[in-house]
Amino acid sequence: MPFPDGFDWTSDGRGTALVRSIEALISELPDLQQDNINAELDHLSSLADTDGMTSAEQICAGNSIELEGLEGVEDALLMLAIAHPQMIDRVSAQASLMRRTGGRNWSAFQFDNDGKPWALGSDAARNGFLADAISILDLPEHRKREADWYKTIKTNPITGEETEIVHATIYVEARAESELAFGASNTLDRQLVQKVMEVGIACDAKERIVEICAKGGKKVRDEYVASFAKHFAPQSETPVETPRRNVMLDTLKSPQIFLTEPADGIERVEVSSLDFFSTGGGFTRIEKRGEGETLYHFLERRFGGFSPLRLGGWHMTGATIRIIIAAKEDQRRHTLTVTLRTPNTTTLPNKTEQDRQFVFGLLERWNLLAPRHMDDAKVEVVD
């Protein structure tokens, strides 16, 4: 749609003035063109929320697109639709992944931090992964497919630290559906509408985490991550699934009594390290050393009122908890270690599924994890 010279792109802060200006311009167009444009605007409207704005910011940061000076999410989306139309599909895919995080069709997998590089930029690895996706979806080879790879920049809300995330949205031609529509002769006809199925992945190479959003249940997502490991991280051990839920570190600002039950078989629980970030830009990690004194006792003895637990300007960003399991007849005494980091990283790599479920149950009991996000949404099938 052509915009006249001098069109006023400014907003009143709520977007209503800009919307009215655009509506007036659209009303002068032919009816069919109005319908097409309104359909596109409806799509943009579906993205005009907090998730949509966050997605736009992350994608623009990853593609060196400046949003400075734009007033609100409507301005940002309209600018992208006009100047960078491909980015709207990426914003839509990213917002969809954010809304499904923690839901039924989403899984996150934690690789061991073995220091071995990932081949995320390899064309051969990307093509191999795409071919595997078609096989996992159990679709005929003739079905069209396309993978859109792009980067986003996520910013830690407390520390301001930026992390580069590599994304892939795999679009696959799904089975056609029959729908009623008005044909060229203005009579109802039954037409075949070709559908597109999406599979989304997000790769955090720094934290060694891969998120997968795809329908089909846990078994299918296990197949996707096995393919990811085969093509992009062939030197690393098979990753394990780990829930991605917001952590509640405020619980650890004071000494805790970690409630256990006899059936847990837990000998003791200890906080072995705490990470802090200062509003002045400094980081510090306090680790427990020696027996007979907790980390909290050490902080009080060593720093008193200047402890980051008591002094203003310090924010807790991470904690490591050691769960010592008592020896049993068929098992030696051992320790399960879990690290929590803001806003939603929980690492428990290279443990059995039974151990992982056991530890996450304890974290819920100790109020260290936000309530589980119950999302019944499916991976979208779109026109």
**Cβ 228 vs Cβ 129: under 8 Å:** yes
Residue 73 located in a structural domain: yes
Same-domain pairing of 91 and 111: no
Same-domain pairing of 237 and 113: yes
- Separation between Cα atoms, residue 79 and residue 73, nearest integer Å: 10
Same-domain pairing of 111 and 216: yes
What pLDDT is recorded for position 4? 66
- Separation between Cα atoms, residue 313 and residue 306, nearest integer Å: 11
Classify 289 as helix, strand or coil. coil
* Last-in-domain residue among 244, 263, 287: 244
For the beta carbon of residue 280, count every other beta carbon within 10 angstroms. 7
What pLDDT is recorded for position 213? 92
pTM above 0.95, yes or no: no
Terminal-residue alpha carbon distance, the chain = 22
Residue 373 located in a structural domain: no
Same-domain pairing of 176 and 258: no
Residue 375 located in a structural domain: no
Question: What are the DSSP E strand ranges found in the chain?
Answer: 106-110, 145-155, 162-173, 177-182, 188-193, 196-204, 209-213, 240-241, 266-278, 283-287, 314-325, 334-341, 345-347, 381-382
Residue 76 located in a structural domain: yes
**Cβ 166 vs Cβ 201: under 8 Å:** no
Give the Cα-Cα-Cα angle 220, 222, 228 (nearest 5 degrees). Answer: 110
Enumerate residues 6+ apart whose C-beta is below 8 A from 172: 133, 134, 137, 139, 143, 144, 145, 196, 197, 198, 199
Same-domain pairing of 238 and 177: yes
Residue 29 lies in domain? 16-100
Residue 298 located in a structural domain: yes
Give the Cα-Cα-Cα angle 362, 367, 371 (nearest 5 degrees). Answer: 95
Same-domain pairing of 172 and 208: yes
- Separation between Cα atoms, residue 10 and residue 18, nearest integer Å: 6
Same-domain pairing of 170 and 135: yes
Same-domain pairing of 175 and 89: no
What pLDDT is recorded for position 132? 92
Residue 45 located in a structural domain: yes
Same-domain pairing of 83 and 111: no
Place of tokens 């078609």: 134
Which residue, among 95, 5, 85, 115, has the nearest Cα to 46 in the 3D structure?
95
Helices (H), 101-196: 123-137
Beta bridge partners of 338: 321
Same-domain pairing of 175 and 215: yes
Low-confidence ranges of the chain (pLDDT < 50): 374-383
- Annotate 16-47 with b (16+ C-beta within 10 A) or e (fewer): eebbebbeeeeeeeeeeeeeeeeeebeebeeb
For 51, phi then psi, to 5°, come to: -65, -40
Domain count for the chain: 3
Same-domain pairing of 235 and 111: yes
Which residue, among 34, 28, 7, 31, has the nearest Cα to 18 in the 3D structure?
7
* Last-in-domain residue among 100, 132, 148: 100
What pLDDT is recorded for position 372? 67
Residue 263 located in a structural domain: yes
Same-domain pairing of 341 and 321: yes
- Separation between Cα atoms, residue 180 and residue 376, nearest integer Å: 28
Residue 74 burial (C-beta neighbours within 10 Å; 0-12, 13-18, 19+): buried
* Last-in-domain residue among 214, 244, 274: 244
What pLDDT is recorded for position 381? 36
Enumerate residues 6+ apart whose C-beta is below 8 A from 238: 226, 229
